[in-house]
Amino acid sequence: AQTVTQSQPEMSVQEAETVTLSCTYDTSESDYYLFWYKQPPSRQMILVIRQEAYKQQNATENRFSVNFQKAAKSFSLKISDSQLGDAAMYFCAYRSPRGGSNYKLTFGKGTLLTVNP
C-alpha cells in the first residue's frame, strides 16, 4: 500500500520569505500523480499544485513550485514570497493511475504553516 509522509507537523515563515514543506512517499509503481492541497481555516480543500510522475519537469504555479525527486520518492513544496493568506494546513497526496488505488487520494498527515507579519 502506498504511504505518504510529511515529517514537519508545523512550520513558520516570515512574510515575503521562502519556505519549503517536505513530503516523501512509498510506492512500487512507476507512474502516479502527486498533489499538494491547502486547507485554510475556512476548511475548504484547495488544490495548490500537481505533478505527474512521468514528467521530469517540476511543476510551477505562480509562487508555488515543487522539487520532485522520483528516485528519492520526494515531493517538496516551495512557497516563495510568502503571504499572510498562505497560512493554512498543507497536505501532500498520492494517487495511483490504475486499479482500485486509482479511485482515491492517499494523504499525508499535513503541515500547519504559519506566516508571521
Partner 1 sequence: DTAVSQTPKYLVTQMGNDKSIKCEQNLGHDTMYWYKQDSKKFLKIMFSYNNKELIINETVPNRFSPKSPDKAHLNLHINSLELGDSAVYFCASSQLTRDTEAFFGQGTRLTVV
The answer to whether 11 contacts partner 1 (rule: CB under 8 A) is no
The helix (run of H) or strand (run of E) holding residue 113 is strand 111-116
Piece of 10-18, 20-28, 41-49, 72-80 that binds partner 1 (CB under 8 A): 41-49
Q: Which is nearer to partner 1, 11 or 89 (CB)?
A: 89
Q: Does 7 bind partner 1 (CB under 8 A)?
A: no
How many residues bind to partner 1 according to rule CB under 8 A? 23
Q: Which is nearer to partner 1, 35 or 115 (CB)?
A: 35
Grid cell 522520483 is found at: 70
* β 88-95/106-107 pair status: antiparallel
Q: Is 52 in the site for partner 1 (CB under 8 A)?
A: yes
Give exposure, 16-48, as e/b (b: 16+ Cβ within 10 Å): eeebebbbbbebeeeebbbbbbbeeeeeeeeeb
Amino acid found at 85: G
Residues within the interface to partner 1 (CB under 8 A)? 33, 35, 37, 39, 42-45, 47, 50, 52, 89, 91, 97, 100, 102-107, 109-110
